[in-house]
Chain A
Amino acid sequence: MKKILVPIKRVIDYNVKVRVKADGTGVDLANLKMSMNPFDEIAVEEAIRLKEKGAAEEVVVVSIGVKQAQDTLRTALAMGADRAILVVTGDDVQQDVEPLAVAKILKALVEREGPDLVLAGKQAIDNDMNATGQMLSALLGWSQATFASDLEVEADKARVTREVDGGLQTLEVPLPSIVTVDLRMNDPRFASLPNIMKAKRKPLETLSSEDLGIDIRPRLAILNTEEPPARPPGERVTSVVELVDKLKTEAGVI
């Protein structure tokens, strides 16, 4: 396998408790810690491991969004990716590009780069859509293996174990293919300081969605963003006896 393409997304750090803006226009992303989407870290890690095993020659990472996403790409380069492509779609950090538009941009890049495998995260923790990999696969007419927890690559095919509702499912997909990764595929490495320094000299190409001629206008108009309803405050009980009594008499659930 010559090349693996890994799409990565810059999202709010998974530990940050988000705040909804009072005017209902969205979630306040100003001055918050941003990181690589956790699922994408796993995809980058898997691609690098395949390269280290000699199963791939080059790992190319790509991010789509604001220019600050180059920090996310540098992180992936520091982990071990060879080269990065940034597609700038605008300068508003609040503007999330929809999965369909992202898939179209990725399709254009796949056609240019000719990877044998696209490794993506199963979902982004901001929009929680879980759609981009499947959409890209459809646009390319390729096979797909989603929610992967294990991946074995052979010459012209891959064997993938998927996490499904009832347990695990194993598929064999012909290459080129798209695999979206689940949490249990691996533990991503931390980038070492020397590798962070080296990553600054690795190639990072910047394009725009116009360069690629892709229409990224949203298909979904966001009318409102609000806080979920708050739960009424709970109470502390001091013993199991009291707990069971409250569940029987007060809550009536057992």
Chain B
Amino acid sequence: MSILVLAEINDSTLALDATQRAVTAATQLGTVTLLCVGHGIEQAAVQAATINGVSGVIQVEDAALAQRLAEPTAALLADIVKGYTHLLAPATSDAKNILPRVAALLDVMVIADIISIDSTDTFRRPIYAGNAIQTVQSLDAIKVLTVRTTAFEPAPCNQQASIKTATTPELPVLSAWIENSVSSTERPDLASSKVVVSAGRGIGSAENFNIINQLADKLGAAVGASRAAVDAGYAPNDWQVGQTGKVVAPDLYIACGISGAIQHLAGMKDSKVIVAINSDEDAPIFQIADYGLVADLFEAVPEFSEQV
């Protein structure tokens, strides 16, 4: 089996953790070639080549690939993947945008968000907001897969694979990139943080998130939010944990003022230890919490910060 992995690159920077995890999944299938696509990505390719299990890196550099717009990137991938049996990428918003387009260009199905690999053609993935796990066998010649990163450990980085530069074919340019509005944060990345502190509607306002931020800073944690908190404008959309936001599985997840709707649980129920702080003792979140505290979060969270 010859496996092509699309490295996650945002604005010329390698998303190392997500790429390492996708490589771990890919090495279960066969020989792994890592593909670095973008503009100004020499450093990203050098870093990608250090990931153990990668037998070689292909670097494709083109101004048309700068923001990895779906049309040129998918056209490139559909061309390069011929000769490989599998195409994998971490299930980020970037890959979810691009890989289904690649699959359709190849006339194959995409298999989204795999959580385990049974064999070279058989994979498991969650459906119904994680309330069922489906095992599917692909009948297609090329398997196109996105990998749920929380289900695979990151491959270590202590090697140096060779880097080959490939030339680009003529790429279709249909969309125009206008701007990115990136929320700046000093905190760890939500998807890969060991500890996550999240708040829901119970937080009441954007200002009140300060007590969540303080606890997160004490614990070196990332900050998350439920849909209710995002919809109410208390937190930016990219903090949302859940079926439609990010899926996290940290060592410790602290849910403050979050009721625990099905759609939120889909994004965090594989966390190793779950703590729930909620004033409603009947909140569904307590059914999956390892430690539940019925308390007013405005008293409990600052006290928590003092204790650690």
Contacts and interface: CB of A to CB of B under 8 A. Distances in A.
Interface of A: 12, 14-15, 17-18, 20, 27, 98-100, 103, 122-123, 125-139, 141-147, 149, 159, 163-174, 182-184, 218-228, 231-232, 234-241, 243-244, 246-247, 251, 253-254
Which 9 pairs across A and B sit closest by C-beta, in order of nearness?
A: A131-B100, A138-B104, A134-B100, A135-B104, A143-B174, A219-B109, A170-B178, A253-B252, A224-B135
Chain A residues touching B, majority SS: mixed
28 contacts: A17-B131, A99-B100, A100-B107, A126-B127, A128-B125, A130-B96, A134-B101, A135-B104, A138-B100, A138-B103, A138-B104, A146-B96, A164-B238, A165-B238, A166-B182, A169-B179, A184-B231, A220-B137, A220-B139, A221-B137, A227-B131, A228-B132, A231-B290, A234-B289, A234-B291, A234-B292, A237-B292, A240-B307
B131 A228 contact: yes
A129 B288 contact: no
Contacts of B133: 225-228
B173 to A, nearest CB: 10
A146 B288 CA distance: 33
Nearest to A126: B128
Contact of A243 (B238, B246, B304): B304
A173 B262 contact: no
B166 interface: no
A246 B307 CA distance: 12
B86 interface: no
Contacts of B92: 165
A251 B273 contact: yes
B67 to A, nearest CB: 8
Interface string B172-186: 101111111111000
Contacts of B139: 218-221
Contacts of B308: 244, 254
Contacts of B100: 99, 129-135, 138
A141 B251 CA distance: 43
B158 interface: no
Nearest to A163: B237
Contact of B176 (A128, A131, A172): A172
Given A100-B108, A125-B243, A169 B177 contact: yes
A18 B77 CA distance: 37
Contacts of A234: 274, 286, 288-292
Nearest to A239: B293
Interface residues of B, number: 89
B210 interface: no
Interface string B85-96: 000000011101
A253 B67 CA distance: 38
A183 B245 CA distance: 10
Interface stretch (B23-31, B39-47, B55-63, B68-76): B68-76
Contacts of A231: 269, 274, 288, 290
B144 to A, nearest CB: 10
Contacts of A98: 109
A218 B134 CA distance: 15
A95 B69 CA distance: 33
Contacts of B272: 253
B219 A254 contact: yes
Given A128-B129, A219-B108, A227-B132, A254 B231 contact: no
A139 B236 CA distance: 34
A222 B96 CA distance: 22
A170 B177 CA distance: 6
B110 interface: yes
A235 B96 contact: no
A251 B251 CA distance: 10
B89 to A, nearest CB: 13
Interface string B153-171: 0000000000000000000
B181 to A, nearest CB: 4
B132 A236 contact: no
A247 B292 CA distance: 12
Contacts of A226: 132-133, 135
Contacts of A20: 131-132
Given A100-B108, A228-B132, A247-B275, A14 B180 contact: no
B301 to A, nearest CB: 9
A121 to B, nearest CB: 10
Given A173-B174, A237-B291, A168 B237 contact: yes
